């Protein structure tokens, strides 16, 4: 079952089409990547999902009901351009943001305590944001996004500016939220991060959906029959009708199997030439490679 469905969504700004006929679904309980280079239309898409801006055409549904242009309290949004009230204390700020999402004061206070404890920041709750380090501020921003326990989290470039320790901390929390059945849309232009944590993606380019589906399936469908072979000792003769050698890097080769070629046949050829094989693995393309290949 999907928590979010976009069908044929379009948005135009003064003659410039920012999002054009985009459709995709976000299943419940997964980490979903919204990918694309800068200016691809990701932020516009997110703003339409969160109800900040309206669609010109198309439909956005959450749990089955249309939410075009409606602010939804069941969404937690961490924008790319994010900040906090500098002169407000951590606790006041989090309570305010949680109450805007419909929590009672009491509820907000107990939730923020839980989160501050989790991030080891309890003693900072009466400090002003100004007095916090950048990393701490980013943790507060994350708490503000999840404090009302939304069904759908939208994180726009959440790791920008985070140090490795905090990046891992937030990644861990994202995974935990998913385990608890929350869905997460993770928007970024950094493909390598997506491969690490996303199960499904949609790839937008110039406002259009150019690729979507499960990460494994996408890789499978876009594979180039590339294989990495490492040898203890290399074969005597390297001419084969089953594959081409793309790279020879000492005892590590990158080969491309011909259409219809069988890996067993290739291995047999190597063995017949006296090779001792240490490693043989299919090399699936990275999302970045797929993106470049698709766009080109």
Partner 1 sequence: MIRGNIWLVLQREYMTRVKRRSFILVTLLTPLAFLMFFIVAGLIFTYQSDEKTRILVKDEPGLLEDGNNQLRRFELYFTDDEKAGFMALLQEGDYEAGLWLPALDTSYGGPYKYEFYSDQPLDIESSSLLSRTLRSRLRAERIATLKIEEDILEQLEIETRLDQRPITESSRNLNEMTGVVAAALGGIMGYIMFFVILLFGVQVMRSVTEEKSNRIVEVIISSVRPFDLMLGKILGSSAVSLTQILIWLILIPASALIVQLMIPMDMSEAEALTQTAQIPEGFENLPLVIEQLGEINWWFIVPLFLFYFVAGFLIYSSLFAAIGAALGDDINEGQSLTIPVVVPIVLAVYIMFQAVREPNSSLAIWSSIFPFFSSIVMPSRLAFEPDSWQIGLSMLVTAGTAVLMIWLAGRIYRVGILMYGKKASFRELAKWIFSRS
Q: Which residues pair with 243 in a beta bridge?
A: 257
Cα dihedral across residues 285, 289, 291, 293: positive or negative:
negative
CB 10 within 8 A of CB 20: yes
Binding to partner 1 (CB under 8 A) within 106-165 occurs at: 141, 144-145
Rounded CA separation 4/182 (Å): 12
Size of the site for partner 1 (CB under 8 A): 31
CB 32 within 8 A of CB 219: no
Candidates 73-81, 119-127, 166-174, 219-227: pick the segment binding partner 1 (CB under 8 A).
Answer: 73-81
From 66, 100, 122, 292, residue interacting with partner 1 (rule: CB under 8 A): 100
57 binds partner 1 per the rule CB under 8 A: no
Rank residues 77 and 159 by Cβ distance to partner 1 and give the closer one: 77
> In 182-260, which residue ranges form alpha helices assigned H by DSSP?
191-197, 215-221
Q: Which of 60, 31, 59, 55 is nearest to 41 (CA)?
A: 55
From 45, 53, 151, 184, residue interacting with partner 1 (rule: CB under 8 A): 53
CB of 51 to partner 1, least distance (A): 7
Candidates 53-61, 193-201, 246-254, 274-282: pick the segment binding partner 1 (CB under 8 A).
Answer: 53-61
CB 19 within 8 A of CB 207: yes
> In the chain, which residue ranges form alpha helices assigned H by DSSP?
42-50, 90-100, 105-118, 134-146, 164-179, 191-197, 215-221, 263-272, 287-295
Candidates 46-54, 162-170, 224-232, 273-281: pick the segment binding partner 1 (CB under 8 A).
Answer: 46-54
Candidates 48-56, 164-172, 232-240, 269-277: pick the segment binding partner 1 (CB under 8 A).
Answer: 48-56
CB of 151 to partner 1, least distance (A): 15
Q: Within 13 Å, how many C-alpha atoms sit on residue 6's CB side?
A: 28
CB of 207 to partner 1, least distance (A): 17
Cα dihedral across residues 2, 159, 194, 187: positive or negative:
positive
52 binds partner 1 per the rule CB under 8 A: yes
257 binds partner 1 per the rule CB under 8 A: no
Binding to partner 1 (CB under 8 A) within 74-93 occurs at: 75, 77-79, 81-88
Contact set with partner 1 (CB under 8 A):
14, 47, 50-54, 56, 69, 71, 73, 75, 77-79, 81-88, 96-97, 99-101, 141, 144-145
């Amino acid at each position: 079952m999907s928590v979010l469905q976009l069908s044929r969504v379009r948005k135009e700004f003064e003659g410039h089409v920012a999002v054009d006929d985009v459709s995709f679904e976000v299943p419940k309980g997964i980490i979903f990547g919204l990918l694309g280079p800068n200016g691809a239309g990701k932020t516009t898409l997110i703003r339409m999902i969160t109800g900040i801006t309206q669609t010109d055409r198309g439909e956005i549904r959450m749990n089955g009901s249309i939410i075009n242009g409606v602010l939804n309290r069941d969404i937690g949004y961490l924008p790319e351009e994010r900040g906090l009230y500098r002169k407000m204390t951590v606790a006041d700020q989090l309570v305010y943001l949680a109450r805007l999402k419909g929590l009672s004061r009491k509820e907000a206070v107990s939730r923020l305590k839980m989160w501050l404890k989790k991030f080891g920041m309890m003693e900072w709750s009466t400090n002003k944001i100004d007095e916090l380090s950048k990393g701490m501020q980013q943790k507060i921003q994350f708490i503000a996004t999840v404090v009302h326990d939304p069904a759908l989290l939208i994180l726009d470039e959440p790791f920008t500016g985070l140090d490795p320790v905090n990046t891992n901390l937030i990644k861990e929390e994202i995974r935990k939220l998913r385990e608890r059945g929350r869905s997460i849309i993770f928007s970024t232009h950094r493909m390598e991060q997506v491969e690490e944590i996303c199960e499904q993606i949609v790839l937008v380019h110039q406002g259009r959906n150019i690729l979507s589906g499960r990460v494994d399936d996408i890789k499978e469908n876009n594979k180039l029959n590339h294989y990495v072979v490492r040898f203890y000792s290399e074969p005597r003769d390297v001419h084969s009708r089953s594959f081409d050698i793309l790279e020879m890097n000492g005892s590590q080769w990158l080969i491309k199997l011909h259409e219809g070629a069988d890996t067993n046949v290739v291995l047999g050829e190597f063995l017949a030439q006296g090779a001792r094989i240490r490693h043989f693995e299919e090399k699936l393309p990275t999302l970045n490679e797929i993106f470049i290949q698709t766009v080109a």
